Structure 1
Amino acid sequence: MAMDTAAAPPTTTDPASSADSAPDLAAQVRADGVEFVLAVFVDLAGKPCAKLVPVEAVEELQSDGVGFAGYAAGALGQQPSDPDVIARPDVSSYTPLPFVRPGLALVHCDPHVEGKPWPYAPRIILRAVLARAAELGLSLAVGAEIEYFLVNRDEHGTLTVADSRDTAAQPCYDARGLTRMYDHLTAVSKAMNSLGWGNYANDHEDGNGQFEQNFAYADALTTADRVITMRYLVSVLAEQRGMTATFMPKPFTDRTGSGMHMHLSLWRGDEPAFPDASDTRGLGLSPLAYSFVGGILDHARALQAVIAPTVNSYKRTGAVSTRSGATWSPRKAGYGGNDRTHFIRVPDGNRVELRGGDGSANPYLAAAAALAAGLDGIERALDPGEPGDAAATASRPELPPTLLHAVEALAADPVIGGALDAAGPGVSEYFGEVKRQEFFDWHGTVGAWELDRYLTAF
């Protein structure tokens, strides 16, 4: 429930323009004593895919990439008969991981097919939308709040929090809960800080067994890479201690869900484009920032299909109450000041916080879609209305109640659909069909609720 203020320009990473000056991957690997490199990319669902490349083959990895059967990897827009996906490493994303395994490192990759960037690859999509912003002289900085639960699951499938003493009705910020998970939380914190990410807070969140670990904001691509790396780190470090870390939006019916709140700010070179001390609305935002907010609000329903992309996501945004007394998830597309009930919160004039996303969001797609929505607002000079206006918020449509509703909104929204299609056509339609099928797979499964309600009801 915290995030640093965007008061200084982000460190911009643009591997495409700095490839010639980037350090040699093989030299870095050998200097760090690395023996194996995980060559990583994600599919549209955010699944991390990798091959483990030995140091002896790192030169080939850098020059030629490494091949994957795209259809087997996941939702990548491929069929079994299609040519291989070749993952080409972005050397600037090289990350040593000695705290996971001695001699291990990771590098994020850009998927290509037959020599061309693959338009269904989330990293390629984000690059394309960032290029659109660059044409307007703008760049995007993003900070991401990573929330997750630490759980165990018994042989019967019953889910419990990993800390059996974590039973308080309002466990948020509980010092004792933090101390009991000290070894895990500090291992993650030390890992982030050793990588230069700037971990600045680690807290017990609102749900029993729920935690959040924050790191400093950066340019959008770097932050998206770090979210994927962070999820990997948290997962494997939890497993080393016999726990499961889940970023599932709503693993427990009666407890707060896990969000992935994104703090967004636009920049013109080294100058922030959002702050304006003369703002008469009192939030310290510039007219450009208000139009950016207006664009996100205008496309909120379709945006949810991207930033809340699972069946389970809508158990979080649709929750009426939790054990702690609050859901901390928005139901309408409103905005306001430092008020965590809004879809967009404005903590200060440097940034806006998009609170509709959750732990299942693909960070590349989430940043791309949010940026596209905001840019549309700027191009149309949209006015979001007065902040915190109850009447204005009430007049806005509610966020989609299910994944299927969100997918239908996506299909009808050319801006959010266009963001997914930024690197090539057909991606939005494919993504929508994947998610539509996900909804009907769930809908066609008989669950415990139905048995409890109907087994002897008639």
Structure 2
Amino acid sequence: MTITATRSTELDQHRELNADETAVKSVRARIAEAGVEYVYYQIVTLTGRVVGKVVPARHLPRNIEHGIQAHPGVVADLQVDGSGAMLAGSPERGECVVLPDLDSFGVLPWDTRTGFFFCRMYEPDHAPGDDGGRPVPIDARGNLRRVHAGFTARTGLEMRSGIEPEVTWEVPGLSTEHVPGTPHTMYHLEHMERLRPVYQKVIEYGRALGLDMIEGNCEDPGQLELNWMFDHADRTADRLILHRQICRRVAREAGATVSFMPKPADDRFGNGCHHNISLWDGERNVFVDPDVPGLHLTQTGKDALGGILTHAAASTAVMGPTVNSYKRYLHTGQFAPLEINWGMDNKTCAVRMPANGRLEIKSPDSMVNPYLSHAVLLAAVEDGLTQGIDPGLPRTTGTGVPSPFGSLPLTLKDALDLFAVDQAVARGLGSELADLFLRLKTREWERFCASVTDWERRMYGAEGC
């Protein structure tokens, strides 16, 4: 009798991970200890929104094996193209399996009856042909895991990152206006005091959800930047999503409004989300040579930096993913980059080296999808390592020499045009995810071009004639 071997799919492998007795016992113990009754099974869309389903906690055994079902259209926020067709799939397309990662389990500190998992998406076992059980390529979180694992397999290195998320708060009783000529609120502790109910609660909830909160400050009236310790890039991406969820919760509790808009007003600082990255071989940071004194970057670090600079223009579509993003770059004098260059602790540069061991990429803003941005950075870094790309000399104060890497694009449309032809960036996202992102954001640009804005009314309306 001939026995046909059953093909093990990536969905099967994920199920095997979820069958680990130690991991399951750990989750069950946390559910029992906190009194969790409901669990969110959540995925993240291309625009960074959190979607999913809620399931009673007593169904945990079934869900860790079978997950939940979801239509892939949610990945693109159910957006449609100009003809009305869905950008991700179609109404006739079957649903996907959304399977939780057990190590991502958490309990909401503001309601301990509710827990959550981050999940990855797969085609169901019954999908036609060889599709059954394969990862859904347009799942940005799953894509980052695969890209990072592939990067590590080829280079022996992993990326660790820390991010600096800036957000704008409108709090009752707090003026967010700055009068020109008066002292600015940057680092002003009196302004921090007025935001104390906000930042204390954000830090409290962050610590409860595993974010090792380290420092924070206010740079503009109403703007807060609260940071946590760097970690493996995959975990950092999850934590940024959690941070945004925390901020929205705190805003509801405080009767405040929180905005992640990259450029919230003409006279306000933009909201950046700088990515600080490093490469590690085990517990050795390969950007640092312990035998070299002073501020320096190893050859490996320079190669990685060369890749980042080479692909910075095309990556901007991901790092600045909204129409509004480009107003932050164009508002000069507010620490946002425009020229593609690098410098040793130079805040004017697109990539800054503030200390040994890390590179600070300043183009990402507060609307960035961290799964996409880290995947693109991994692809750019690997290209730099493979090609040995020279980043050139660091920019010094007063240097007027134009950067050989050019400037960042000035509109979302310009950025998308560059994104569409950069092969390294496409490798970071994969062809299907890159194509969906391009179509989704092109449609966003088209809708913006068709919209009449307040600026146009002021400029060309009755009072402007």
TM-score after normalising by structure 2: 0.87
CA distance in 2, matches of 1:113, 1:431: 20
Paired AA for residue 200 in structure 2: T
Q: What SS does the corresponding residue of 1:46 show, helix, strand or coil?
A: coil
Asked whether the 8 Å contact 2:175–2:221 carries over to 1, the reply is: no
Say which SS state the counterpart of residue 150 (structure 1) adopts.
Answer: strand
Counterpart mapping for 1:107-118 below 5 A: 107-114=117-124, 115-118=133-136
Counterpart residue number, 2:193: 179
User: 2 CA distance for matches of 1:146 and 1:446?
Assistant: 31
Classify 1:386/1:162 alpha carbon distance in 2 versus 1 (closer, same or farther; 3 Å): farther
Match of 2:32 in 1: 30
* Percent identity over paired residues: 30
Deviations 1:280-333 (A, max 9, x none): 9x632110001101100000111101111111110111113xxxxx31100011
Answer yes or no: is the 8 Å Cα contact 1:70–1:85 preserved in 2: yes
The answer on whether the counterparts of 1:385 and 1:392 sit within 8 Å (CA) in structure 2 is: no
Residues 1:194 and 2:212 aligned together: no
Is 1:148 matched with 2:160? no
Residues 431-442 of structure 1 correspond to what in structure 2 (within 5 A)?
431-442=437-448
Q: Is the 8 A contact 1:277 1:284 kept in 2?
A: no
Separation in 1, partners of 2:216, 2:14: 31
Which residue number in structure 2 is paired with residue 396 of structure 1?
A: 405
**Pair 1:127-2:133 in alignment:** no
Q: Counterparts in 2 of 1:253-264, with a 5 A limit?
A: 253-264=266-277
**Unaligned ranges ≥5, structure 2:** 1-12, 78-86, 125-132
Aligned to 1:105, the other structure's residue is in SS state strand
> How far apart are the structure 2 equivalents of 1:77 and 1:142?
30
Structure 1's 22 and 407: CA in aligned 2 closer, same or farther, altered over 3 A? Answer: same
More deviation, 385-394/88-97: 385-394
The match for 2:65 among 63, 71, 74 is 63
Partner of 2:97: 86
More deviation, 355-364/54-63: 54-63
The partner residue of 1:275 within 288, 291, 298 is: 288
Residue correspondence of structure 1 range 2-401 to structure 2 within 5 A = 20=20, 21-24=22-25, 25-72=27-74, 74-75=76-77, 77-98=88-109, 100-114=110-124, 115-135=133-153, 136-151=155-170, 162-169=172-179, 170-205=184-219, 207-277=220-290, 283-320=295-332, 326-388=333-395, 390=399, 393-401=402-410
Give ranges in structure 1 of 5+ residues lacking alignment.
Answer: 1-13, 152-160, 321-325
* Conservation of the 8 A alpha-carbon contact between 1:150 and 1:162: no
Distance in 2 between residues matched to 1:311 and 1:256, nearest whole Å: 17
Partners of 2:169 and 2:410 in 1: CA distance: 27
Alpha-carbon distance in structure 2 between the residues aligned to 1:97 and 1:392: 51
User: Which amino acid in the other structure matches residue 109 of structure 1?
Assistant: C
Taking the aligned partners of 1:92 and 1:437, their CA distance within structure 2 comes to 36
* Per-residue Cα deviation, 1:138-193 (whole angstroms, up to 9, x for no partner): 10101011110112xxxxxxxxx655334344111121221122122111111222
> Using the alignment, how far apart are the partners of 1:211 and 1:248 within structure 2?
13
Residue 443 of structure 1 deviates from its aligned partner by: 1.1
* SS in structure 2 at match of 1:146: strand
What is the DSSP-based 3-state SS (H/G/I as helix, E as strand, rest coil) of the residue aligned with 1:124?
A: helix
**Range with bigger deviation, 14-23 or 114-123:** 14-23
Matched residue type, 1:295: G
Name the structure 1 match of 2:83. none
One-letter amino acid of the structure 1 residue matched with residue 104 of structure 2? S
Q: TM-score, normalised by structure 1?
A: 0.88
Distance 1:345 1:15 in 2: 38
Please, what is the CA RMSD of the aligned residues?
A: 2.1
Distance of 2:256 and 2:395 partners within structure 1: 41
- Displacement after TM superposition at 1:391 (Å): 5.1
**Number of equivalent positions:** 425
Larger Rg: 2
SS at match of 1:51: strand
